[in-house]
Amino acid sequence: MMLLILAVFLVAMASPAVERLTGRWAGIVLALVPLSLFGWFATQIAAIQSGAKVSQSLAWAPALDVNLSFHLDGLSLLFALLITGIGTLVVFYAGTYLRGHAFRGRFFAWLLTFMAAMLGLVLADNLIVMFLFWELTSISSYFLIGTDHQREAARRAALQALLVTGLGGLAMLAGLLLMGAAGGSFEMSQLLLSGDRLREHALYLPILLLILAGCFTKSAQWPFHFWLPNAMEAPTPVSAYLHSSTMVKAGIYLMARVSPVMGGTQWWFGVLTVVGGVTMLAGAVMAIRQSYLKRILAYSTISALGVMTFLLGIGAAGAWSPESVEPEMALYAAQAFTIFLLAHALYKATLFLVAGNVAAQAGTADVGHLGALARAMPLTALAAVLGALSMAGFPPLFGFLSKELLLEATMKQPVLGEVLTAAAMLAGTLFVVVSALIAWGPFFGRTAAATAQPARETPLPMWISPLLLGAAGLVFGILPQRIGEPLVGPIVTGLLGASEPVAVHLVAWPGFNFALLLGLGAIAAGLAIYACRTRVLRLSEPLARLERWGPGSWYDRALAGLIAIGQMQTRLLQSGYLRNYLLIVLITALGLIGTAILRLESLPIAWDWPAADRLRWSYEHLYLLLTACLILMGAAGAVHSRSRIAAVASLGAVGYGVALIYVFYGAPDLALTQILVETLTVLLFMLVFYRLPGTKQRSSPALRLRDTILCGTFGLLMSVLVLVAVNIQLQDKISDFFIAQSVGLGQGRNIVNVILVDFRALDTLGEIVVLSVAALGVLALLKLRPGREVSA
Amino acid sequence: MEVVLAVVIGSLYGAGLYLLMRRSLIKLVIGLALLSQAANLLIFTAAGLRSSQAPLIPKGAAAPLGEVADPLPQALILTAIVIGFGVIAFTLALFHTAYMRLGIDDVDQMQATDT
Amino acid sequence: MNWLLALPILLPLLVACVTTMLLRRRSAQRVVSLVGMVGQLAAAIALLVTVYQQGIVAVQAGGYAAPFGITLVADLLAAIMVLLAAMKGTAVVIYSGASIDREREAFGYHPLLHILMMGVCGAFLTGDIFNLYVFFEVLLMSSFVLLTLGGERGQVEGAIKYVTLNLLSSAIFLAGAGLLYGVTGTLNMADLAVKLPAADQPALATILSMMFLVAFGIKAAIFPLFFWLPASYHTPPAAVSAIFAGLLTKVGVYAIIRVFTLIFVHDIGFTHNLILALSALTMVTGVLGAAVQNEFRRILSFHIVSQIGYMIMGLGMMATLAQSDSEATRAAVGLGLGATVFYIAHHIVVKTNLFLISGVVERLQGTGRLQALGGFYRAWPGLSLLFLVPAMSLAGLPPLSGFWAKFALVKAGLQMEQYAIVAVALVVGLLTLFSMTKIWAAVFWSPAPPQSPMDADSAEYRRAQQGVGMMLAPIVALACVTIALGLAIGPIFEVAMQAGEQLMTPQLYIDAVSPQSAESHQGAE
Amino acid sequence: MKSIILRSATRYLFPIIALFSIFLMLRGHDEPGGGFIGGLLGATCFALYALAYDVATARRMLRVEEHQLIGIGLLFAAVAGALGLVVGDPFLSTYWTSEFPVPALGQVKLGTPLLFDSGVYLTVVGVVLMIIFALAEE
């Protein structure tokens, strides 16, 4: 399996070259890859049905519990077949649909990357590897939505999709990590065997909510659904493939995969059923309000995803009232879920491709302007009818079976059964309205307005793909037992977490029962609503206003808020005033060191100014006191002086005062260097200051006062630290070694110079490098002027 | 006598920082010079002023007679002084070019690279 | 052994001397510079291999015993950093062959580059706190000059803020080193780690740790102290800001990690929780700043600040050792530190690459402002793909190295129940993705603006184009390194974990530096 | 500034200061002095020339470009350090010759630190002159 995914990745990278080579036939050549994969997975059906285990594993980063392990079971097999099957047709369709498009090569590259990532996602056994492919699908969908990136709307929609799914993805990463830690292993197969350990875990609720955040954003559930309609900016093959049958189902796949271990609790039932139900209804209602073909389909996809989440939710009703549950209630829900998943994938892909044909030929996708296309495009019309009938749930089609099982599952609910059935009925009705809008209006309705150019039938690949998918819906509908059952059985066993395989028997015509009556009723109501849809649109006007304040606007407001905070923060912090920067640095330094000092119980400062004979003490240190006064006056002069000369002179005074202190405390080398350096510095100051203007007093008195206080406290802090350091002296300083060894090892009697040149020569080496760089810098600064001809 | 030096160090640090936050380039560079003097003096004092006998060994002797001042901080400060000189020389040249190039001496008007 | 540790410092110095002599002859300078950098890379690889096999390697400069002479130590973290520095240097030297103008080379561009390399490698390898100050000054001084080389208005203005704040940080660092010597009487870091606890002055030690945190914080550009970086990094040519982006702040981060895992480990509850808080604030302010900029290299500069928050997050998470010293926590902290080491490696490669690409974009389009850019996806598909690799890696998209770095940090954080910081890390990851796609949409996807020289085959555009070939070579190489880091994560993360382990147990470092003080230490136990 | 007194004074002062600066540098290992102090002093005598005459004559007196001087100084220091590596000892290890009599000075011994110190001397002279000449020419 690993090799297959790798192969698809390699082909994806090669596809720009392949596309340039094969030109017109690129669609077909590239479609061979998913076709061969579809064939390989088809051969696995028998093995999986008999319960054989197909898994591979390769260690990748053991320190991070990440190893490339893949596992094929019922659920992943169905998804794999869907991905590769519909993938083949979509690539085949896109070959002609995008002929002449400037970036067709790169489009195929990203489409095949997406296919490989989606395959990896459904086949991965290791949680982290699955997340890895999850993020890859998000990024490839970003590039696919932005295929014709010249348009601002496409770029915005791509970003919106990426950010919403990205946010959910990151939350899910945290959830997966917690789940792996709580469940004891990062391999899904081991986790599934851990039974109730996760459900009883203390962190069950956060794990559940985090993972569901990822699933709900990916599968466009109610609060996070707004990115899917905008994603219709992508070319139709992308909408047909990603945003109807595969990518948006990744969330559903993960919920189904995790349900045996995380499902079955009251939280699971509550959250999924409510969110699923709301999405189901909201999506359906908004679908009928749209006027563009692809947006209608997008909202109906949201509603379909809501139905699937809803089914996964009600499967766990047993947890709510365990005593009154009928054993096969969970079985019905699991069956309904699987059949609905398969049926929806088929008819939604068909309808999207049909919408693509209509948009290509009729020039517009607005349902209002389309009419009587059946005569011009008979084959597309046939595919449209097949897809729409399956969606509406008419008997011979596969959709009918899925609606039947959906209604039976809701009727058998022990708790709130009637409410859930009513919700399912309403959704079914609205589905019928949508299918009528898509199939009946454009193809068989009267011609409302003149279409842009005379529509004629699309070339072969563009009508064969939807037709094949529609026909598959019909075939599955007629013979569900022979084709549907080998796939559905293993999935249902997996979903229920049952040990031995569960027998599933599907029948084309379940006979007259209450569910059938409800279904027919839904169809009738749907057709009625379609007939008087103008009045229905007026009635649902308030809903439109609600939509404007809905989640879509929350996203825009959040983004605008983010930018506003960023601007405010940058204006505040990165103000451009150097003194503000210094102020903040000073306050931070004072704050940090201050808090550290407050933790100091006792302040070990020895106050060696003898109280008794202060006069004698000060006489002894007279010279020191005089130099100290000289330095203090110099510092004050530097601060308050008006003229530049006075400032430089006071700086010189400070320098020479410090040299005197070095002399007092036995540092001849130091004093010599200090005096020479000080002279040179004053000389340089004079050379430079000759040209700079005088120092005018610029800042306001309040500012100066605040600065004085802050700098004063910092200075005080430094003095205190010095006194503290002076009093805490460890005895064995390393300088004793230098004093002892200066003649022996260093062969020199001036210990300071021996240290500089011998013991710590690396310091001096670094020092002269600094000096030479400084010299180079001065030369470059003064000599190198942009534009001035350099006399090098 | 450490108290006196501590006061000197504190006032040098305070003056240096105060000058650093003024708006004229000249005061800025004088502030930097004062800061480096203060840091050097701090190392000198923090190492403990044991004695005022210069760390030299008389001719022919193997070790200095009696208590000697700590040679290590003196070596460190010598290095720091020379590095400080290099840096101050570069800063002076930088401010000179800045004034020639930008024509303004007031640091507050230099916000082009930030906002 | 002596060669290995001395070469990363001596070789750049020799090359700098030679290139200073050759200031007048441009081509000779370039050849010597490239040969020197490749030699540096070879030496760095040899050093890493030796350290990986034999554990921490220590050599006493001048042959004097440990605490007295200056010790050169290479543990895995230092060896990895030296290798990354050498790799970056080689890439930038090749890149600047085509992008640095004649005047800058005549005024010492190459010697400065090598002296910067000497300062950086010296800072990574030295085991002495004052010597660290000297090497900091070496790399700071050469970065001052490199920043102002060329003397344009923006460079000079940015340099004033850069110089002032960094000199303030050096003054605080010098004061800290002086006080540390005053209290413990030693300068050797390993000796400090033994003597500072012996002085049993925990409160004073915390004060000193705060001074070092402020000094290194300014150099590493953490939260309240990063203003100099966005103000100055985008002014010099792309090659210079590329070498700055990957190295200067990382030396500050290395210094914080070294000091706060070796010397100041007595009061982890206070110091490391503070670092954790600062890391969270750094991440958020950096990425918020990046989200609102609209000039290519300013966004990248703010991203440096935000990514540094991630690097010190791993260090800050050591604070959980204060609450529970159980085996599981120690393993998680080890994972956190390993993730930090890997994050630094990933970020250096990615950030340099992004700056080099911004240089190519600026060379072709003449400006860095996003509104005036566009149409690169159509005109330069190769460059777009090359931009995608580091950009998506920075945003944390799997399977590139950025994802693994963030993933490891989040995994370690969750194991230690540090939920707040993990949440911040994830959200900031998303905002990074937002600003990266902002660049992608503006520079690559949006249509080329009308008057841009892009499509017109004007002579000026053709001249700009011919140099680009040589500039793309290092970009491709760095992109391959990013992909290799991402795909071969298994063994590479093993090395990072070992480096994390070495940081977790300072005793390994102390024994390697001064074998005989190890006995005294055991004796004192 | 171009007064005759200063010019004639500099012509005589130059050799004395130069000699004194070299003397300071050589005795640095045993008495207060050393590479830095010698270098700074050495630079002042050339600066005096720049002040008395003009930068061009000072450069001619120097006879070698300042940046060459810095290059040579750095090379001396690096080579003095690298000698140890060639022999296999750690970086920057020092070696001393045994004592040998010199007619005027008595017992003298030469060592690698002396080479290192002269490297420092040359670099400091080169650096200070480069800065002063650059600023003076402005």
pLDDT of residue B37: 93
Domain hosting residue A559, numbered range: 544-574
Closest residue in C to D90 (Cα) is C2
**Residue scoring higher pLDDT (A258 or C522):** A258
Shared domain for A646 and A790, answered yes or no, is no
pLDDT greater than 70 at residue A323? no
- Who contacts A385 (Cβ-Cβ below 8 Å, separation ≥6)? A439, A443, A470
Task: Confirm whether A568 is domain-assigned.
Answer: yes
Q: In the structure, what pLDDT confidence band is assigned to residue A531 with cuts at 50, 70 and 90?
A: confident
Which of B40, B86, B114 comes nearest C141 by C-beta?
B86
Q: Are the CB atoms for C143 and A770 separated by under 8 Å? A: no
Identify whether the C-beta of residue A336 lies closer than 8 Å to the C-beta of residue A405.
yes
pLDDT at C335: 92
Q: Mind listing the pLDDT tens digit for each residue in C186-243? A: 899 998 898 888 877 888 888 999 999 999 999 999 888 888 888 888 888 888 999 9
Work out how many domains chain D is built from and give that number. Answer: 1
Is pLDDT of A173 > 70?
Answer: yes
Confidence of residue B112 (pLDDT cuts 50, 70, 90): confident
Q: How far, in Å, CA of C401 to CA of C389, rounded? A: 10
Domain boundaries, chain C: 287-508
Instruction: For residue B24, tell me if it sits in a domain.
Output: yes
Query: With contact defined as beta carbons under 8 Å apart, do A768 and D128 qualify?
Result: no
Residues on A contacting D at a C-beta cutoff of 8 Å: 668-669, 672-673, 676-677, 680, 683-684, 687-688, 691, 746-750, 753-754, 756-758, 761-762, 764-765, 768-769, 771-772, 774-776, 778-779, 782-783
Per-residue pLDDT, C176: 93
Mean pLDDT of the A385-392 span: 84
Instruction: Name the residue in chain B with its Cα closest to that of C170.
Output: B36
The rounded distance, in Å, linking the Cα atoms of C270 and C207 is 11
Domain count, chain A: 4
ipTM for the assembly: 0.93
pLDDT value at residue B63 = 78
Classify residue B65: in a domain, yes or no: no
Q: Which of C138, C152, C206 sits opposite A599 (nearest CB)?
A: C206
Whether residue B70 lies within 8 A of chain C, CB to CB, comes out as no
**pLDDT band at residue C522 under the 50/70/90 scheme:** very low
Are A775 and D131 within 8 A, CB to CB? yes
pLDDT of residue A318: 57
Residues 6+ apart with CB under 8 A from A284: A299, A300, A303, A426, A427, A430, A431, A434
DSSP state of A247: G
A556 and A465 fall within a common domain: no
User: At A789, is the pLDDT very low, low, confident or very high (cuts 50, 70, 90)?
Assistant: very low
Between CA C96 and CA A603 the distance in angstroms is: 55
Looking at residue C427, its pLDDT comes to 93
Query: Is C167 close to B32, i.e. CB distance below 8 A?
Result: yes
> Do residue A527 and residue A402 come from a single domain?
yes
What is the Cα gyration radius of chain B?
Answer: 20
Q: Which residue has the tokens 């002797």?
A: B61
Cβ of residue C148 closer than 8 Å to a chain B Cβ: yes
Per the prediction, chain A carries an average pLDDT of: 82
Say yes or no: D52 contacts chain A, CB-CB below 8 A.
no
The answer to whether the CB atoms of B113 and C231 lie below 8 A apart is: yes
CB atoms within 10 A of CB A19: 23
What is the percent of chain A with per-residue pLDDT over 70, rounded to a whole number?
Answer: 91
pLDDT at A616: 66
Q: Which of the other chains make 3 or more beta carbon contacts under 8 angstroms with chain D?
A: A, B, C
Q: Inter-chain contact C21–D81, Cβ cutoff 8 Å?
A: no
Q: Which residues of A150-189 are buried (b: 16+ CB within 10 A; e: fewer)?
A: eeeebbbbbbbbbbbbbbbbbbbbbbbbbbbbbbebbbbe
pLDDT at C53: 92
Phi, psi of B20 (to 5 degrees): -60, -35
Regarding whether A517 and A470 lie in a shared domain, the answer is: yes
Please give the residue that has the higher pLDDT: either A373 or A790: A373
* Domains in chain B, number: 1
pLDDT on residue C516: 60
**Inter-CA distances, A592 with A634, C171, C213, C224, C428, Å:** 30, 17, 9, 11, 26
Radius of gyration of chain D (CA): 17
Domain membership of residue B12 as a residue range: 2-50+73-109
Render D5-55 in DSSP notation, one character per residue: HHHHHHHHHHHHHHHHHHHHHHHTTTSS--HHHHHHHHHHHHHHHHHHS-H
CATH number of B79's domain: 1.10.287.3510
CA A358 centroid distance within chain: 34
Against a cut of 0.90, is the pTM above it?
A: yes
For a pLDDT cut of 90, what percent of chain A falls above it? 14
H-assigned helices in A290-414: 293-314, 328-362, 378-392, 398-411
A601 at the C interface (CB within 8 A)?
Answer: yes
Contact indicator for A311, A572 with CB cutoff of 8 Å: no
Question: Which of A428, A439, A435, A420 is CA-nearest to residue A404?
Answer: A428
Residue A105, pLDDT > 90, answer no
DSSP characters over A716-755: HHHHHHHHHHHHS--S--THHHHHHHHHHTT--SBHHHHI
Residue at a domain's end among A539, A556, A586:
A539
C2 and chain D: CB distance < 8 Å anywhere?
Answer: yes
Contact B82 D138 (CB under 8 A): no
- CA-based nearest residue to A147, from A21, A246, A224, A236: A236
Residue A434 falls inside a structural domain: yes
Instruction: Indicate whether A530 and A558 sit together in one domain.
Output: no
Distance CA D71, CA A317 (A): 84
Token representation of residue A304: 């379909």
Amino acid at A131: F
Per-residue pLDDT reduced to its tens digit, A273-289: 888 888 888 888 888 88
From the list B56, B82, B89, which residue is nearest D36 (CB)? Answer: B82
Residues A370 and A402 in one domain: yes
Is the domain of A443 the same as that of A515?
yes
Q: Are residues A550 and A527 in the same domain?
A: no
Chain C residues touching B25 at Cβ < 8 A: 160
- Of A352, A277, A263, which is closest to residue A308 (Cα–Cα)? A277
pLDDT tens digits, residue range A710-761?
999 999 999 988 888 888 877 778 888 888 888 887 788 888 888 888 888 8
pLDDT at A29: 83
